[in-house]
Amino acid sequence: MDIETVFPGDPLETTVKYAGAQLAPFSVPWAKGRVQLCTGFNTQRSQNDALFLTRSAFWDVESVPLHYRQCQLTSIRDESASDIASKSEITSFAVSASVGGSFLGASGRGSYEKSVRENKNKSNISVRAEHICGQIDLGHIPRLDLGAIRLLSDSPDPINEFRRAYGDFYVAGLRVGAVNNTTISGEMANKSFFEATRLQLKIKALFLTHNKSIDDVNQSKSNSGGLSVAAFDSLTAFYSNFTAHNLEDGLTAGYIASDNKQKAMNLGNRASEVLFKEFSLGLNGAVYQDSVDRLCDRGLVTELLLAPYSSLREYQSLLSLRYNRR
């Protein structure tokens, strides 16, 4: 495996292939739909391969109990820089984007991240809020399936054959919470767009005192001009990618940004309320796959925790016994 394989795009961006090569657990953003714990994933997959493996390496997965535990962690990043979208704030998306259709798919969150990446050289203001209410874990690690055991015991190339059949990682946990992001890009972006007080006057002043109007910038076809607002809120399934072309549009863009930032400020309380009212999830307790499916449908599963099969004691023991027989 050479460096071009591990880092096919930007060498400064983490990729799934690189993360998988470390053989350590890692997390990826999720917004694509339903997922079941213990599902296999191949970090070396090609872009044309399905995201997850259909065959399970584990036996009797359906009988494994699932547990929810509360943790309540909030992260809000309010940054302003000309190259903000190329910095670490999109590292998690860089990981997901390195695998074909990505873990975000055609969701609002995926559309938002795609918009930010496409404007990464123009982004000026970004507010990203993430809240983790809790995590769903396996009650215990199930035994490997008989087919997986035979493969590790008898295959002439057990590690690679196992990866092709079942993947090299599996879904070990789900993080439950909410995500809210807003990015303003373009040469006319200014932090006044996030200020609710006297918002209209501030935006009017910005447009009236700027040397170039947005219309002038558009007519000159300058890539650095204009004003765009991309906003996403997972709890309300809200996504907007709005471009301002005149003063009225500028006011609309300002209100979109300001309103979404207000949602970000109480993201934790809103997420906890939804979990309690719609799913009766509070501190800790058992959950079932039908509840996990509903959480995915509601957009409340925001991250997948992936763990390597190689960390399993049974996996290690089978390989050890095999090589000790030689």
- What is the average pLDDT across 112-119? 63
Tens-place pLDDT, residues 49-80: 888 999 999 999 999 999 999 998 999 887 66
What pLDDT shows up at residue 85? 44
Tens-place pLDDT, residues 245-255: 887 888 888 88
3-state secondary structure the chain: CCHHHHCCCCCCCCCHHHHHHCCCCEEEECCCCCCCCCCEECCCCCCCCCCCCCCCCECCHHHCCEEEEEEEEEEEEEEECCCHHHCHHHHHHHHHHCCCCCCCCCCHHHHHHHHHHHCCCCEEEEEEEEEEEEEEEECCCCCECHHHHHHHHHCCCHHHHHHHHHCCEEEEEEEEEEEEEEEEECCCCCHHHHCCCCHHHHHHHHHHHCCCCHHHHHHCCCCCCCEEEEEEECCCCEEEEEEECCHHHHHHHHHHHHHHHHHHHCHHHHHHHHHHHHHCCCCEEEECHHHHHHHHHCCCEEEEEEEEHHHCHHHHHHHHHHHHCC
Tens-place pLDDT, residues 199-222: 444 544 444 444 344 344 334 333
* Of 213, 57, 62, residue with least CA distance to 138: 62
- pLDDT(7) > 50: no
What pLDDT shows up at residue 305? 94
* Of 141, 167, 158, 137, residue with least CA distance to 70: 137
Per the prediction, the chain carries an average pLDDT of 78
pLDDT category of residue 20 using cuts at 50, 70 and 90: confident
Tens-place pLDDT, residues 153-190: 999 999 999 999 999 999 999 999 999 999 888 765 55
Q: Is the pTM of this model over 0.75?
A: yes
What pLDDT shows up at residue 70? 94
What pLDDT shows up at residue 303? 92
The fraction of the chain above a pLDDT of 70, given in percent, is 69
The fraction of the chain above a pLDDT of 90, given in percent, is 46
What pLDDT shows up at residue 142? 97
What pLDDT shows up at residue 33? 86
What pLDDT shows up at residue 227? 79
Which comes out higher in pLDDT, residue 31 or 295? 295
What pLDDT shows up at residue 113? 66
What residue type is 107 in one-letter code?
S
What pLDDT shows up at residue 273? 95
pLDDT category of residue 24 using cuts at 50, 70 and 90: confident
Tens-place pLDDT, residues 119-160: 655 556 788 899 999 999 999 999 999 999 999 999 999 999
